[in-house]
Amino acid sequence: MLEKIDGFAYILGDDINTDDIVPSHTLTMRDTHEMAKCTLEFIDPHFAKNIDQGNIIIAGENFGTGSSREEAVNVFKVLGIKAIIAKSFARIYFRNLINLGIPGITVNWNEKTFSKGDNLEISLKEGLIFNKTKSSKLEFEKLPKFLTKILEDGGILNQLKKNLEN
């Protein structure tokens, strides 16, 4: 996990909420893959289909505001999203991200920093995002060790399972 993450940027705005990510009508679906097809459907109906073209989410302020529904992280995991970069995260959403083993990176950015489809390389260890398309670098505050340990263990349940076995 602390090795480099390589992917393509998908840009979203401020205050993307959990109802945007997984609309309520999908919440009783038992099949997570079915649910994942509806990810962000009110914002971009083709999001789930075109995931290969944008598998690192770049968002504005307060990403994931709203419900505690962890489905709003899990659908991204199911779709293969590698990391989420945002100006700020809602509290429960950030916990859920780390707990499910997806890096959440908090950093300020503007329209010159990233464009849709930019090829990015993220180093959590160095606290650095390298935009290969634009040949630019952006530093971010590294995650505390307590959280990177959860990411390294592949999420908090894997960590707990390991502890329970020992």
Residues engaged in binding other proteins (CB under 8 A)? 15, 17, 19-20, 23-25, 27-30, 42, 61-62, 65-71, 73-74, 88-92, 95-96, 99-100, 144, 146-147, 155-157, 160-161, 164
Q: How far apart are CA 35 and CA 67, in angstroms?
A: 16
Nearer CB in complex with other proteins: 96/131 = 96
Decide if 149 contacts 159 (C-beta within 8 A): yes
N-terminal to C-terminal alpha carbon distance within the chain:
23
Residue 108 Cβ vs other proteins, minimum distance, rounded to whole Å: 13
Nearer CB in complex with other proteins: 1/29 = 29
Residue 127 Cβ vs other proteins, minimum distance, rounded to whole Å: 18
Q: How far apart are CA 129 and CA 77, in angstroms?
A: 21
Nearer CB in complex with other proteins: 55/65 = 65
Decide if 21 contacts 48 (C-beta within 8 A): no
Residue 68 Cβ vs other proteins, minimum distance, rounded to whole Å: 4
Nearer CB in complex with other proteins: 8/140 = 140
Nearer CB in complex with other proteins: 2/27 = 27
Residue 14 Cβ vs other proteins, minimum distance, rounded to whole Å: 8
Residue 19 Cβ vs other proteins, minimum distance, rounded to whole Å: 4
Q: How far apart are CA 129 and CA 56, in angstroms?
A: 11
Q: Tokens 């779709």 appear where?
A: 79
Q: How far apart are CA 111 and CA 119, in angstroms?
A: 15
For residue 114, give the nearest of 88, 138, 90, 94 by alpha carbon.
Answer: 138
